[in-house]
A and B are shown apart, each in its own frame.
Chain A
Amino acid sequence: MTGNVESAARAVDVWKSYGTGEAAVTALAGVSVEFDRGRFTAIMGPSGSGKSTLMHCLAGLDTIDSGDVWIGATKVNGLRDKGLTELRRSQVGFIFQQFNLLPTLTAEENITLPLAIGGQKVDRAWFDAVIDTVGLRDRLTHRPTQLSGGQQQRVACARALVARPEVVFADEPTGNLDSRSGAEVLGFLRRSAHEFGQTVVMVTHDPNAASYADRVIFLADGRIVRELHDPTAAAVLDTMKVLDGDDRLVVA
């Protein structure tokens, strides 16, 4: 099997479980999914459904039990630490829910950190474009403690984009933000997909956040159970309710 040039990231029949014996938990049960280049995808599902696990496995942060994971033309499973590190530095961008920034660095240094670590030069034009899009021009010399939560997340977004990675993964990027700041961040993620052709994969449990995406994937018990394209918040909410009902049905 070869990497598909059309998809930025791909999972093929991925299985992943934690622990052994009685205590074993199957976090991913045969997930196959493709993320098209330049698209903004949201992954939704109840807590414990395997959203973060899927993201970590796709990004080379966690190992899988079986199946295959591709980032662009690179097969992720089978890479050793050095290769994974290299992959994360150049092919993947991360936005976490919180603690995204190093307190000792300024906003600008934080943004260019992946390049500095790799000893690469900053592409000034691209950097300027990203900065202007996130609107951080006048905050570049500030330390994280001098920035609001929303500004910090925008710095994190800029950092994720600055190395022009194959995919940007965002795990609940707006989980800790008020709705206005959250909207700014989501708007930026959407623009980076549409204007810059950046592939973005975002984990969220907020239907409103998911409505910014081009496509929503629903996970439950480690399986993909539903998919929506060009969703509205209402459509997402409806799907959630339906799945919730299924769940209750299953439990009952």
Chain B
Amino acid sequence: MLKATLKSVLARKLRLVLSGLAVVLGVMFVSGSFVLTDTLDRSFKDLFATVYSEVDVEVAVKPKVDQDNPEAARAGTLTADDVKAVESVDGVRTAVGDVIGSARPIGENGKVLTTSGAPRVGTAWRDGGQEEMREGHPPRRDDEVAISAYLAETGGFQVGEQVSVLTLEPKRTFTVAGIFGYPGNRASLGGELTTAFTETTAQQLLLGTPGAFSGITVRADDGVSQAVLRDRIQAALGDAYQVKTGEQLAKEQADEIGEGLAFFNYVLLGFAGIALFVGIFIILNTFSIIVAQRTRELALLRAMGASRKQMIGSVVVEAVVIGLIASVVGLGAGIGVGALLANVFSTIGGGSLHLAGIAVPPSAIISSFAVGIIVTVLAALLPALRASRIAPVAALREAATPDRPLTRLTVAGGALSLVGGGMLGFGFAGGSLWPILSGLLLSFIGVALLTPLISRPVVSLIGKLLAWSMPGTLGRRNSARNPRRTAITAAALMVGIALITGVSVVLTSATTSITKVADTQIKADLIISGESTNGQAGGTFGPDRVEKVLATPGVESAFGWYNDGVLIDGQRKFGTVVTDVPAMERIFGLTSTSGTISDLEDGEIGLDEATATALNLRQGGTATVQTTKGEQRAYTVAFVLAKTTLVADSVFLPRSTADEFALAQVNTAFVKTDPGANVADVRKSIEPLFADNPEVSVQDLSSFVRQQTAQLDTVLLMIQILLALAILIAVLGVINTLALSVIERTRELGLLRAIGMRRAQVMRMITVESVVISVFGALLGLVVGTALGVAAVQALKDQGFTDLGIPWMQLGSYLLIAAGVGVVAAILPAIRAARLNVLQAISYE
């Protein structure tokens, strides 16, 4: 039996290649994700080991509020006395005060240079560090800097040229005194851009305090371990200091990136799962068609005494063989893709991250084989059962058994769709992931089971729109010929398109909601804000600029705000200092539920309603607040704002606390112009105030909103790219179905050619069939996806999704793309059909 099965696999190898390909692509996605994230993870571990290779212990000020953003975490600075104190600890060979902060050089085009995630660092030059001077000399004067070779490369700077840098202060221009690199002829350690100043300049520009240090790097005496030295220094300095070993820091930073990578891996695996789910449809379809085509052969086996178990076995063994082969190929391809992507990642920005060698983690191998085989066998199970139910007499029957009625399928599909929809609703309402995911899965299967029933009327309708000539009519009728086959093929396409559609609806609704909130609630005409790339520091400005804006002719009122994390009654919230609270009240149209909205005196805070409720606070109540740099203090609640989408989760603090923030700079300012003033003119008068800061832009409200929502477009694009593989697999399914149909209908095609059908007409016939199936799948996807999106938006109403936005243009383009995909999918089967040897097709001896 096994031998017979293997022989039959080989005999139909071409037909199985396409369905196997679906598994290969899915497995490739899975193993590629593992290989990519594993390689990057090890590369970052190496990177941080290098970064901290010459650090035994590092001392810093202990952060009072845990910061999410390490770059903004200027918990406080150390003094020369602190350095001396550390130096005197037994076992310390050297203790050097570090001055490290954010420095963003400006490129030749006047724009701030960006990286693909690595920081832009400013530092005080230290002799004897890892840096190796390649050209020129270290900065000796306050108007000199040394820059890393990678920065020189990125910005096109040479020794002796001028370079402008943004720091805590606006643009300052320096002369490049030298260019340095790192051991091993590296331009950077990990793609970072480094500017080294003299110590005094660095202290002023990076820390804002003369004589201050951001941390202390300690080297141990020989024979003193990092841990021992750490404990001694900690004991000597006390609890206000954070003392960590170099190994500890390297591990912490690598772990933090590792967590990000793990999440990234989950996301990729999620998309791989979708691709594999679609793959199941394809394999199921292929096996069903093959079992149907082999009915007589299988019945003959039954008639000769093969048992039902053997019948199931023969199909399952076939599936295992295909799964195995597909897993091996998929694993190999995945390793290639993973390595390729790791290289792409490391070379973005010019060879920045030093890649650790590509290795294949066991997780990649195990998951590849598990996923490949399980998915294939799972998909083959139903066809296997069907094979076992073939009656021996079928061997004697002339025609294939007629299609069974769809009642049972329809009932099961309806039930599954209902259960799935219910779980989705439950999941959306509770905001929990697992009910949503299983609900999605069940709904998709349910709808897929319903498709054969829906396909009859819908397919004939689509076909009527597409088919005007005889070949078209034949193609249309062919696509309606086998509702199950058409339905599964279309359902596979449905999954990808439904997900893309759902996401599009949600994101469009977000854009619509944001735009509407801005239009109806923000009365600002101009918004001054900074772009901070990759969430790194930058794009802030001093409060004096807000005063200057206010003094500009045509400006009626303006306010700016500072933000930083704070702890209020021990909970982390978003702390905001507003330069002019009444101006905010007017421009945002705020109202209070209790207390009067006014500028906050020292010792007063303002809350929004939701935050007040969450903290169980009322107007007049007291709460303790801890800022990044200040002492913990008790504050009284001066006002509580009525619910608004503009400020949520906020704690408003008096102006004096701005200095206790990690960065005492304004990040956004809102401007209202005089009635009758020309907004564009006012903008032109304000812009020069920020000429020395290319990170800050002055925009009118609508362009600001567009800039904010543009990020959603990027999200959509990423999701579209990741779902493209699921759609590609679905396209393979269309090709597969068509190819199998062409084989099945060889005789018909021969007859058509014999009585005078041209090759082009044959191709048109196959193309129409393909387009009908694809458009049907796309329509299903659009309907299901829109329903999903609408449900999600409903559920997110309280999260600010006030308006539903249906992206009609996008949905239309998905439909067009599906039609295009249908045409492309038809190419190979159509050529095959057109090339058919007429004589062979019609011979029956």
**Do A and B belong to a common assembly?**
yes
- A residues with a Cβ closer than 8 A to B are 56, 61-62, 81-82, 85-90, 92-94, 96-100, 102-105, 113-114, 116-119, 145, 159
Contact A88 B748, beta carbon cutoff 8 Å: no
Contact assessment for B752 and A85 in the assembled complex, using a CB-CB cutoff below 8 Å: no
Mark the stretch among B73-81, B272-280, B836-844 that contacts chain A. B836-844
Q: Name the residue in A88, A90, A104 with the highest tally of chain B Cβ atoms < 10 Å from its Cβ.
A: A104
Q: Are B844 and A85 in contact (CB under 8 A)?
A: no
CB distance from B727 to the nearest CB of A (A): 29
Kindly report which residue of chain B lies nearest to residue A48, judged by CB atoms. B845
Give complex CA distance A116, B755 in Å.
Answer: 11
Contact A85 B759 (CB under 8 A): yes
- The answer to whether residues A117 and B470 also contact, given A85-B759, A89-B756 and a CB cut-off of 8 A, is yes
Q: From residue A79, how far is it (CB to closest CB) to chain B in Å?
A: 13
Q: Is the CB of B758 within 8 A of A104?
A: no
B751/A99 in contact, CB under 8 A: yes
CB closest residue in chain B, given A47: B845
Which of B471, B477, B755, B759 has the most CB atoms of chain A within a 10 A radius of its CB? B755
Residue numbers of B with Cβ under 8 A of A are: 399, 469-471, 474, 477-478, 481, 747-748, 751-759, 761, 838-839, 842, 844
**Residues of chain B with a CB closer than 8 A to A116's CB:** 469-470
Determine the distance from Cα of A119 to Cα of B471 in the docked complex, in whole angstroms.
10
| B755/A159 in contact, CB under 8 A | yes
- Please, which residues of chain A bring their CB within 8 A of the CB of B753? 85, 88
Per a CB cutoff under 8 Å, which of B751, B758, B761 touches A100?
A: B751
Instruction: Determine which of B399, B474, B481, B756 lies in contact with A88 in the assembled complex, contact meaning CB atoms within 8 Å.
Output: B756
CA distance A85 to B834 in the complex (A): 12
CB pair A104–B477 under 8 Å, yes or no, is yes
Q: A85-B759, A88-B756, A92-B756 are in contact. List 12 more A-B contacts (CB 8 A).
A: A56-B839, A61-B754, A61-B838, A61-B839, A87-B756, A88-B753, A99-B748, A104-B477, A104-B481, A114-B756, A117-B758, A117-B761
Q: Is the CB of A105 within 8 A of B477?
A: yes
Determine if A98 and B754 form an interchain contact, defined as CB atoms under 8 angstroms apart: no
Assess the A102–B751 pair: CB atoms within 8 A: yes
Pick the contact of B756: A56, A105, A117 (CB < 8 A): A117
Most-contacted residue by chain B among A61, A85, A88, A113 (CB, 10 A) = A85
Chain A residues with CB below 8 A from B755, complex form: 88-89, 93-94, 113-114, 117, 159
**Interface pair B754/A102, CB less than 8 Å apart:** no
Q: Is the CB of A104 within 8 A of B478?
A: yes
| A contact residues around B469 at 8 Å (CB) | 116, 119
* Chain A residues near B756 (CB-CB < 8 A): 85-90, 92, 114, 117-118
CA distance A220 to B374 in the complex (A): 60
Q: CA separation between A154 and B417, bound complex, in Å?
A: 49
Chain B residues closer than 8 Å to A100, beta-carbon distance: 751
Chain A residues with CB under 8 Å of B759's CB are 81, 85
Query: Is B477 a contact partner of A98 (Cβ separation < 8 A)?
Result: no
CB–CB A117/B757 < 8 A:
yes
Q: How far is the CA of A104 from the CA of B482 in the complex (A)?
A: 11
Give, as a whole number of angstroms, the nearest-CB distance from A50 to chain B: 13
21 examples of A-B residue contacts, CB within 8 angstroms: A61-B839, A61-B842, A85-B753, A85-B756, A85-B759, A88-B755, A93-B755, A94-B755, A96-B751, A97-B844, A99-B747, A99-B748, A102-B752, A103-B481, A104-B477, A105-B474, A113-B755, A117-B471, A117-B752, A117-B755, A145-B399
A161 to chain B, nearest CB (A): 12
Residues of B within 8 A of A93 (CB): 755
A118 nearest CB across to chain B (Å)? 7
Complex Cα–Cα for A218 and B808 (A): 71
- Is the pair A82, B470 in contact by a Cβ cutoff of 8 Å? no
Give every chain B residue within 8 A of A62 (Cβ-Cβ). Answer: 839
- With A62-B839, A89-B756 known to touch, is A98 a contact of B470 (CB < 8 Å)? no
Q: Which residues of A contact B747 (CB under 8 A)?
A: 99
B399: chain A residues at CB < 8 Å are 145
A96 contacts across to B, CB distance below 8 A: 751, 754, 842, 844
A56 to B844 alpha-carbon distance, docked (Å): 14
Contacts A88-B756, A99-B844, A104-B478 given; does A113 touch B470 at CB 8 Å? yes
The distance in angstroms between the C-alpha atoms of A62 and B757, with both chains bound, is 16
Tell me which residues across on chain A come within 8 A of B478, comparing CB atoms.
104
Residues on the B chain within 8 Å of A103, using CB: 481, 748
Distance (Å) between the CB of A169 and the closest chain B CB? 10
**How far does the alpha carbon of A85 sit from the alpha carbon of B755 in the complex, in Å?**
8
The one of A85, A94, A97, A105 in contact with B757, judged by C-beta atoms closer than 8 angstroms, is A85
Q: How far in angstroms is the closest Cβ of chain A from B838? A: 6
Contact B751 A88 (CB under 8 A): no
**Distance in angstroms between the alpha carbons of A93 and B755 in the assembled complex:** 7
Judge whether B844 and A98 touch: CB under 8 Å: yes
Give the CA-CA distance A82 to B761 in the complex, in Å. 12
CA gap between A159 and B477 in the complex, in Å: 20
| Residue in chain A with minimal CB distance to B481 | A104
In the bound complex, CA of A22 to CA of B822 (Å) = 47
Closest CB in chain A relative to B630 CB, distance in Å: 81
Closest residue of chain A to B843, judged by CB? A52
B472 CB to nearest chain A CB (Å): 11
Q: Which of B471, B481, B754, B844 has the most chain A CB atoms inside 10 A of its CB?
A: B754
- Say yes or no: A85-B758 contact (C-beta < 8 A), given A104-B477, A119-B469: yes
Contacts A85-B759, A88-B755, A119-B469 given: A102-B474 contact, CB under 8 Å? Answer: yes
Q: Which residues of B contact A82 (CB under 8 A)?
A: 758
Across the interface, name the chain A residue whose C-beta is closest to B841.
Answer: A99
A25 CB to closest chain B CB, in angstroms? 14
Interface centre among B747, B756, B838, B842, by most chain A C-beta atoms within 10 angstroms, is B756
B839: which A residues are within 8 A, CB to CB? Answer: 56, 61-62
Query: Is A102 in contact with B757, judged by CB distance below 8 angstroms?
Result: no
Q: In the complex, what's the smallest C-beta–C-beta distance from B235 to chain A, in angstroms?
A: 89
In order of increasing CB-CB distance, the 9 nearest A-B pairs are: A89-B756, A104-B477, A116-B470, A88-B756, A117-B757, A99-B747, A85-B758, A114-B755, A117-B470
A117 partner residues in chain B, CB cutoff 8 A: 470-471, 752, 755-758, 761
CA of A243 to CA of B481, assembled, Å: 49
Q: How far is the CA of A62 from the CA of B838 in the complex (A)?
A: 9
Interchain nearest-CB distance for A109 vs B (Å) = 8
Selected from B474, B757, B761, B842, the residue in CB contact (under 8 A) with A104 is B474
Expressed in whole angstroms, the minimum distance between the Cβ of A84 and any Cβ of chain B is: 9
- How far is A113 from B709 in the complex, measured between Cα atoms in Å? 56
Q: In the bound complex, how far is the Cα of B752 from the Cα of A82, in angstroms?
A: 14
CA of A102 to CA of B470, assembled, Å: 12
> In the bound complex, do residue B754 and residue A88 qualify as a contact, i.e. CB atoms below 8 Å apart?
yes
Quote the shortest CB–CB distance from A47 to chain B (angstroms): 9
Residues of B within 8 A of A86 (CB): 756
Nearest CB in chain B: distance from A60 CB, A: 10
Among residues of B, the one whose C-beta sits closest to the C-beta of A176 is B844
B744, chain A: closest CB distance, angstroms: 11
B148 to nearest A CB, angstroms?
A: 68
**Residues in chain A near residue B751, CB distance under 8 A:** 96, 99-100, 102
Q: Give CA–CA (A138, B436) in the complex, Å.
A: 57
Q: How far is the CA of A100 from the CA of B755 in the complex (A)?
A: 10
**Chain A min CB distance to B721 (Å):** 39
| Inter-subunit contact A94/B844 (CB<8 Å) | no
Docked CA distance A29–B245 (Å): 97
Give the interface centre of A62, A93, A113 by most chain B CB atoms within 10 Å. Answer: A113
* Nearest opposing residue in chain B for A89, CB measure: B756
Distance in angstroms from B652 CB to nearest chain A CB is: 73
Tell me the complex Cα distance, A182–B475, Å.
33
- A90–B757 Cα distance when bound, in Å, is 11
For the complex, give the distance between the alpha carbons of A92 and B755 in Å.
8
Question: Bound complex: CA of A88 vs CA of B838, how far in Å?
Answer: 12
Q: How far, in angstroms, from A61 to B755 measured CA to CA in the complex?
A: 10
Contact of A102 among B748, B761, B844 (CB under 8 A): B748
Per the bound structure, the CA–CA distance linking A61 and B753 in Å amounts to 9
Most chain A CB inside 10 Å of its own CB: which residue of B470, B477, B839: B470
* Chain A residues within 8 Å of B754, by CB: 61, 88, 94, 96
Inter-chain CA distance A176–B350, complex, in Å, is: 75
Which residues does chain A contribute within 8 Å of B748, judged by CB atoms? 99, 102-103
